[in-house]
Structure 1
């Protein structure tokens, strides 16, 4: 495998890891705040959870 192929695999791995970490952060935020799963919640449930988050005081 040449360096071009290795670089593509490295870029795909980094992108995959970034997506995994992002999805873990998003899913855990909705789970902790509203006790819903981000991946199975409806759009209305997600909007309601975002409204709850917006109404919380900021430190």
Structure 2
């Protein structure tokens, strides 16, 4: 297993433990495009559809 795959498994579990819904397509989005042309691996969104964090 690669470091990236291990990190994704760990992050997914942490998000699930914090009650984020990973499969609804709205709460957490993956490979999300950023304004600078990059992509964020994970972006959580609030109930109004606003990004609450980007990395």
Structure with the bigger percentage of helix: 1
TM-score category by the smaller chain? 0.3 to 0.5
Kindly name which structure, 1 or 2, has the bigger radius of gyration based on alpha carbons.
1
Structure with the bigger percentage of strand: 2
